[in-house]
Amino acid sequence: MAAGSTDEEKEGTDSAPLSGNASLAFPLTMIFLMMAVAALYFARDFFMPVVLAFLLTLTLTPIVRFFRKRGIPSALSATCLIIVFALVAASLGYMVSGPVSRLMSDAPAIGRELQQRLADIRRPLDQIMKASEQVDKVSEAARQPDIQKVVVAQPGILTRAANSLASAGTSAAITLILALFLLSSGTLFYEKIIQSFDLMSDKKKALRVVYDVEREISRYLLTIAVINSCLGAAIGTGLWLIGVPDPLVWGVAAALLNFLPYVGALIGIVLVAAISLISFQSLGYAVIAPAFYFACTVIEGQFLTPMIVGRRLELNSVAVFIAMAFWTWLWGAMGTLIAVPLLVVVKVFCDHFHGLRHVGNFLSAQQVMEEE
C-alpha cells in the first residue's frame, strides 16, 4: 500500500507541472500576440519597409532564379532588377504627381460640380443635413458660455507634406536596399537551413518545404503583379480613348487598387464615375467610363486570374476583409495594399505544415484539406 501510494503521489507530482504548463499556454500566447501587435504598431516605421522588402524579394525571386540558371550571378541580376524597378516607380510617381496634385487642389471645385449634377438625388439628403445642423445649433446654444476651448496648434500643410515625403523616401530607400541584399544572397538562405539540422532526412524535408513555400509565393506574387499591371494599362488606355482626363493616374490607381479584392474595384469605379460626371455633359456618355472599368475588373477577376493563377489560392472573403481592416488600422494605406499578399503568404505557409492545415483551410475560399 505504501509503495502504491508513493507511485500515485509521484504520478500526481509529475502530471501537475504538465497541466500547469498547458493552462498557461493560451494566456502566454495571447500576451505574445498583443505584444507583437503593439510592436508592429509603434515600430511601424521600421517594420513596414522590412515587410515591403521581403514581399518585393519574393516577387522578383523567380526572375533572379531564371537568370541564375543561365549563368548570370544573382548579385548582378538583382542589382539590375532593383535599378529598373526604382526607375520605373520613380518615373510613374513623377508623371502622376502633377495630375494628382491638380486633382487635390481642384477637389472643392469638383465637389461643387458633383453637387450640381446630383442635385436631384441630394435633395432628400440636404433636408436631413439641415435638420442635423439645426440640432447642432440648439445643442451648442445649450452649452455653458464660459467654457473655453483649447485648440492645439498643428503644423502647416507644407510642413506635414515635407515630413511625409522625407519619411516615404527613407522607407523606399530601406526597402530597395534590403531587397537588393536579399536577392543577391542567392542560395545562402537554403544553406543556413540545411546547417540547422543534423539528420539528412530532416535537412531534405526542411529544404523541400521552404523551397516549395518560397517558389509558390514568388510565382503568385509575380503573376498577380503582372496581371494588375496589365489591368492598369488596359484601363488607362480605354479611359484615354473614351476621353477621361488624366488616364495615366487612373491606370496606375487601378493597378494598385486591384491588390484589394472587392473593395479596390469598387473604389476605382466610384472615382472614375465621379470624374466622368463632371467631365462629360451627357449622362449616358459619362456612364461609359465606369462601365468599362467594371467590365475590365470582372473579366480579370472572374476569368483571367483564376485561369492563370488557379483557384487553390483563392481566399475566404471574411478573412480578406478582416486582414484588410487589421492592417489598415495598423499601417494605414500601405497596410491596406499589403494585407492580401501577406494573407496569401500565411495561407501557403500553413498549407505546408500538417499542424497548421486547419488555419490554411479557414483562409481558403473552398475546401482544400485532404480527406483523412
User: Would you list the DSSP string of 70-136?
Assistant: TT--HHHHHHHHHHHHHHHHHHHHHHHHHHHHHHHHTHHHHHHHHHHHTHHHHHHHHHHHHHHHHHH
Mean per-residue pLDDT over the chain, rounded: 78
CA Rg, the chain, in Å? 27
Helices (H) and strands (E) in the chain, counts: 15, 0
pTM confidence score: 0.73
Residue 201 confidence class, pLDDT cut points 50, 70, 90: confident
Q: Are 261 and 320 in contact (CB under 8 A)?
A: yes
Nearest to 193 by CA among 209, 182, 217, 175: 209
Average pLDDT over residues 107-134: 67
How far is 222 from 308, CA to CA, in rounded Å? 12
Q: Average pLDDT in the 221-237 region?
A: 92
Averaged pLDDT for residues 206-227: 82
* Per-residue pLDDT tens digits for 314-335: 778 888 888 888 988 888 888 8
**Whether pLDDT at 17 is above 60:** no
Strands (E), the chain: none
Percent of the chain with pLDDT over 70: 77
Tell me the average pLDDT across 11-21.
50
Q: Distance (Å, rounded) from C-alpha 220 to C-alpha 257?
A: 17
Q: What is the per-residue pLDDT across 275-304, written as a single tens digit (0 to 9) for each?
A: 888 888 888 888 899 999 999 999 988 888
pLDDT, tens only, 23-32: 677 778 788 8
Enumerate the β-bridge partners of residue 364. 315
DSSP assignments along 316-331, one per residue: -HHHHHHHHHHHHHHH
Answer whether residue 106 shows pLDDT above 60.
Answer: yes
Cα 324 to Cα 57, 121, 321, 337, distances in angstroms: 22, 31, 5, 8
The amino acid occupying position 29 is: T
- Mind listing the pLDDT tens digit for each residue in 152-181? 445 544 445 445 556 777 888 888 999 898
Amino acid identity of residue 306, one-letter, is P
Phi-psi region of 366 (alpha: psi -120 to 50; beta: other; left: phi over 0): beta
Percent of the chain with pLDDT over 90: 14
Position 241 pLDDT exceeds 90: yes
